[in-house]
Amino acid sequence: MPKRILIADDNEDIRRVIRWFLESRTACEVCGEAVDGVDAIEKARTLHPDLILLDYSMPAMNGIEAGAVFKAMLPEVPVILFTNQDTGAIEPAAVSVGIRAVVPKTDIGRLVGHLEALLC
């Protein structure tokens, strides 16, 4: 059975590209897409993903805020934060709320490596 991933990003083009890449090059399936952290929390409650991929900069609730909620709500589900921001500046706050990895959006290979490590 393929591992299920929930993608949260306010940019529809980013969600579409990541969905296409993951489903065409990994054994994962995207079980849902969310437009912000609040939407991701609502969808995670019903979709029960194996991994959550969060954008850092989203309206309503950013990725670190949503990551803190996921740590309490679904502590066994790994969360990866991906961003266009400086990952070194964000990583300490992300790790402190239980996010397992912070990956630049420009490094899809690194993203896939973290997905495989966390889901296998």
Class of domain 3-119: alpha beta
Contact (CB, 8 A) for 30 and 60: no
Report domain extents, the chain. 3-119
Residue 93 identity (one-letter amino acid): A
Q: How far is CA 34 from CA 1, 100, 109, in A?
A: 23, 19, 22
Structure tokens at 110: 């690194």
66-103 pLDDT, tens digit each: 999 999 999 999 999 999 888 888 999 999 999 999 99
pTM beyond 0.85: the answer is: yes
| Tokens 């993203």 sit on residue | 111
Beta-ladder partners of 29: 4
